[in-house]
Structure 1
């Protein structure tokens, strides 16, 4: 069946939609905000995918980001902060609902979905790229789920991806919120192929006529070595613990410099977010689908709307940039099991329900 492709977007639209040969191109187009996702962008992406799924003239979908800095820095945190502090968070919950549905649509899209993960790819940027089936990184890639640094918890299917990384690598990345380069993104299952940045234009252009697999064979190269493979010993041993407190104890007591540095980093994160993140990862390991994990993440995200740490983390890191968040509770022992469990209670409007 041949459908009707969406009309090309104007140059000022937040998502540029166009066709080139047999490739449908989606270009995130807020370069001054490092292509941070807002609700309009999520809707535009979903509309284009729904159309191209039925269009026989579109063989491949390609996601890229405008500007020189990266694909996408995540969700529009400033906008969410304004909604949470001034409007109670209803708009943010609606945004997350549509965003997570988009993540699931990308994962089950029936045609090759090629995500060019060049430069910064964080949070929501991971959600619109790492669930695709052809995920390309470059030597400039910096991939992260940075949520614990702003009092939030990995979402957009991030707990599904990280809980399935080898050993405890995903736990390390989630708790520290640390970015990784191309080699480690490949190791952790966040990407599939390495294409040097100076070959990206040729690679993307070739998709107008070539099948995605053929383009990958032509342009992909071995990735530069990462750092995490050589650190698996202490990472797997320390992060296998059942509590954040025990993880920190093991990291501090371990002889390696990297383990102690990880402990120092984790200690700066929101205590509540750390405990909820660890529980989210452990539960995600037992879930059987991305969709069920996104359901869990929606419950957790909705619960953070009533937590002081999310607004405080965004204030400290993004708004005032003083980098000194005042977490509440301020320490891990003060975060009770009840505090953690409430994040997993059914949300007022579940993800699978009607909007």
Structure 2
């Protein structure tokens, strides 16, 4: 995993290479919006092990291939097929290793730079938002949309969202709504905003510059946080102790956006909503 690129990497779903002091992970399933499968999780974990003990590697960078985003999440089709045709052991093994990877990223001893450009959802949040240096752009669309499919925000998502100011994390977890760079920074899921046009130069700079220097050279003010303007009704409604009371408060609020949010919740899985609220 040293040199320019790992042997045989051209056909791999995860590309590994080193450039100067930086080691690079590229999720390489652009047609599937870089959705994670079990083999990808294992390959990333193996790379992190090698680079953790390689003194030549000072920084790890994760990006996504293609123009659409870093990662749309776990490969739900594989999980669905296993639930339908298998006994669930394949899905359980995937989640076990994925969650271990997320926890490892959170405590990785070297700077872990996650380029959260474009779509970053579900498992994509897991391999990025636990990192020590999280980069968003004006193109970023971040979400934990699991309640819409009867699941709960996993990959440590409830932990991350529980740390957001007020009840913003509760709102995002229950609705599964996507949010941009300003809100990612406000909610603590990102650290710096860079224009997408600067990403190539930023990543290149990491080969021979410390991460703080490279960030300082390219960071720019983020777009406004849209959720900041909604804090009053979000905090008032989501401070309720039950899903039913949250929905009641949303429907009774004067804000049209609150009533629209209630309709979103009514369309999500009731069980997933209750488990998610308890988890938060």
Normalising by structure 1, we get a TM-score of 0.77
* 1:81, distance to aligned residue in structure 2 (A): 0.2
Q: 1:70 maps to what in 2? A: 69
RMSD of equivalent CA atoms: 1.2
* 1:11, distance to aligned residue in structure 2 (A): 1.1
Equivalent residue pairs, number: 279
* 1:4, distance to aligned residue in structure 2 (A): 7.0
Contact kept, 8 Å, 1:9 with 1:16, in 2: the verdict is no
* 1:7, distance to aligned residue in structure 2 (A): 3.4
Q: SS where residue 12 of structure 2 aligns?
A: coil
For residues 119-167 of structure 1, what are the alpha-carbon distances to aligned partners after superposition, in whole Å with 9 as ceiling and x for unaligned? 0000000000000010000000000000001110000000100011001
Contact kept, 8 Å, 1:175 with 1:274, in 2: the verdict is yes
* 1:198, distance to aligned residue in structure 2 (A): 0.4
Q: Which runs of 5+ in 1 are unaligned?
A: 282-355
* 1:30, distance to aligned residue in structure 2 (A): 0.3
Normalising by structure 2, we get a TM-score of 0.98
Contact kept, 8 Å, 1:9 with 1:17, in 2: the verdict is no
Q: Which runs of 5+ in 2 are unaligned?
A: none
Q: 2:193 maps to what in 1? A: 194
For residues 63-116 of structure 1, what are the alpha-carbon distances to aligned partners after superposition, in whole Å with 9 as ceiling and x for unaligned? 000011000000000000000111121100100000000001101111100000
* 1:257, distance to aligned residue in structure 2 (A): 1.0
Which aligned runs of 4 or more in structure 1 are off by greater than 2 angstroms?
3-9
Q: SS where residue 23 of structure 2 aligns?
A: strand
Call closer, same or farther: CA 1:246–1:13 in 2, change over 3 Å: same
Q: SS where residue 71 of structure 1 aligns?
A: strand
Q: 2:46 maps to what in 1? A: 47
Contact kept, 8 Å, 1:168 with 1:240, in 2: the verdict is yes
For 1:4 and 1:36, the matched residues in 2 are separated by 25
* 1:10, distance to aligned residue in structure 2 (A): 1.6
Call closer, same or farther: CA 1:195–1:4 in 2, change over 3 Å: closer
Contact kept, 8 Å, 1:185 with 1:191, in 2: the verdict is yes
Contact kept, 8 Å, 1:4 with 1:51, in 2: the verdict is no
Q: 1:158 maps to what in 2? A: 157
For 1:75 and 1:152, the matched residues in 2 are separated by 12
For 2:61 and 2:184, the matched residues in 1 are separated by 19
